[in-house]
Chains A and B, each alone.
Chain A
Amino acid sequence: LAKITQPISMDSYEGQEVNITCSHNNIATNDYITWYQQFPSQGPRFIIQGYKTKVTNEVASLFIPADRKSSTLSLPRVSLSDTAVYYCLVVINNAGNMLTFGGGTRLMVKP
């Protein structure tokens, strides 16, 4: 299993860009990097997934360097409603798609 390390918490202000970096040093060749968002009293919600280079959707961007040992979730112009816990996960491609969650990063967006 890839060992995942991400900051426990981060603070930001409305309108700023937030970058959350995750390290996954022993990621396997077929593994994907996935980010989930969780609000209080709700289940986690998929944000974005990538294998290498850059992926962008309407919510976020995901930057993955060539060695794939880390990844950075970028949230453009955050708002108060982006206050949540963000989980970096490695999808184990050969284990029935099981998701293994770490402790996540608690993002607090301030006005």
Chain B
Amino acid sequence: EAGVAQSPRYKIIEKRQSVAFWCNPISGHATLYWYQQILGQGPKLLIQFQNNGVVDDSQLPKDRFSAERLKGVDSTLKIQPAKLEDSAVYLCASSLAVQGQAYGYTFGSGTRLTVV
């Protein structure tokens, strides 16, 4: 089974620039998540999609972050404009979303963003 694909693997941008990350989940996984992981910390959920609808975006800094999941498959996460504190690894995960069954989650390898 193919895993969760993310690109790019690494990105370096200057502050105030824009950046976009792409995620292709496992085929058939209805639920897709974006997490932000700052160095030395655990991942923090940014947004959760169920098919192409947003389930939870309460921790997404909406003044600069946006995400979409058109057609309920691929997803993009955008930051505009970026700040130094956005430097982190951005992880995408997908799951079958079966209640209580966390083993259905699969994470991608992430995109490491450095804002300078």
Contact = CB atoms under 8 A, between A and B. Distances in A.
Contacts of B105: 46, 97, 99
A28 to B, nearest CB: 11
Interface stretch (A16-24, A36-44, A62-70): A36-44
Interface residues of A, number: 24
Contact of A43 (B41, B45, B50, B93): B93
A46 B106 CA distance: 8
A49 interface: yes
A101 B100 contact: no
A96 B103 CA distance: 14
Please tell me the size bucket of the interface on B: 20 to 34
B107 interface: yes
Contacts of A97: 31, 95, 97-102, 104-105
Nearest to B42: A101
B79 interface: no
A43 B98 contact: no
A45 interface: yes
A61 B4 CA distance: 27
Nearest to A48: B103
B72 interface: no
B91 interface: yes
A39 B13 CA distance: 25
Contacts of B43: 44, 99, 101
Q: Give 7 closest A-B pairs by Cβ, nearest first.
A: A43-B107, A101-B42, A34-B102, A91-B102, A93-B100, A46-B103, A101-B43
Interface of A: 30, 32, 34, 41-46, 49, 87, 89, 91, 93, 95-104
18 contacts: A32-B100, A32-B101, A32-B102, A34-B102, A41-B112, A43-B93, A43-B107, A44-B107, A45-B107, A49-B103, A93-B100, A95-B56, A96-B31, A96-B50, A98-B45, A99-B43, A100-B45, A104-B42
Interface of B: 4, 31, 33, 35, 41-45, 48, 50, 55-56, 91, 93, 95, 97-105, 107-110, 112
